[in-house]
Copies of this chain bind each other. A is one copy, B any other.
Amino acid sequence: MKLAVLGTGGVGQTIGSKLVELGHEVTMGSRSADNEDSRAWAQAAGSGAAQGSFADAAAAGEIVFNCTAGGASLEALEAAGAQNLAGKVLVDVANPLDFSQGMPPTLSVCNDDSLGERIQAAHPDAKVVKALNTVTAAVMVDPGSLSEPGTILVAGEDSGAKEEVGALLRAFGWPADSILDLGGIEAARGMEMYLPLWLRMMGALDTAAFNIRVVR
């Protein structure tokens, strides 16, 4: 399958490399088509990996991962182009973290709105699925690296899109029964507002390599 990864940071590189490893053709997109990080990534990831502008990547991908920093996501997706996202599954992995006031970061949008909802509103023809934003990059693509995977959350308006994302999550190593569908994209509020707790648990546990599991 042809996939696009928007964003050249740790999350984009980790997801991009895993997708290449799984046999997909992956184009990493960045602000300029001449990004040092994405060039280095494409070279290292080998056959199946390419890079270009946000628009190049979005045009090439059948499914698009938004792995840009939350504060830059709307601009990056505008650059990707509504026509390149229309009808496609757009997996929103970003968190709207605002580091401008120092650590720990606050959220630049929360409570009565969310980044996931804003992305869906800005791209009504894309099928936005919020997913994977509740764990660190290494755990996203290798939940088996923990003592047990824990629960991974998804939210979005389109059931078919969530099915497609579920298939990718299972390929990443998430057992089918670890995937919890929270409903429509409005649930992105809950998923993003978990981040302040995640950050403080990371501090208390002294590691980002953790997750939560729902117990009943």
Taking CB atoms, residues of chain B closer than 8 Å to A150 are 215
Pick from B107, B146, B196: contact of A216, CB below 8 A. Answer: B146
Bound CA–CA A191/B110 (angstroms) = 15
A213 contacts the other chain (CB 8 A) = yes
A201 beta carbon closer than 8 Å to chain B: yes
Query: Contacts of A168 on B, CB cut-off 8 Å?
Result: none
For A146, what are the chain B residues with a Cβ–Cβ distance below 8 Å? 215-216
A interface, over-half SS:
mixed
- A148 engages B193 (CB within 8 Å): no
Surface stretch bound by B, among A56-64, A69-77, A204-212? A204-212
* Size range of the chain A interface in the assembly: 35 or more
* B213 and A215 contacting across the interface, CB-CB below 8 Å: yes
Assembly CA distance A190 to B110 (angstroms): 13
Residues of B close to A148: CB separation below 8 A: 215
A109 to B, closest residue via Cβ: B111
Q: Is the CB of A213 within 8 A of B212?
A: yes
Q: Are B204 and A197 in contact (CB under 8 A)?
A: no
Within 8 A of B (CB), among A125-163: 146-151, 153, 155
Q: Given A151-B212, A182-B204, A205-B214, list of 12 further CB < 8 A pairs?
A: A101-B112, A106-B111, A106-B112, A110-B111, A146-B215, A180-B201, A183-B200, A191-B197, A193-B193, A193-B196, A193-B197, A201-B214
Interface residues of A (CB under 8 A from B): 101, 106-107, 110-112, 146-151, 153, 155, 180-183, 187, 189-191, 193-194, 196-201, 203-205, 207, 209-216
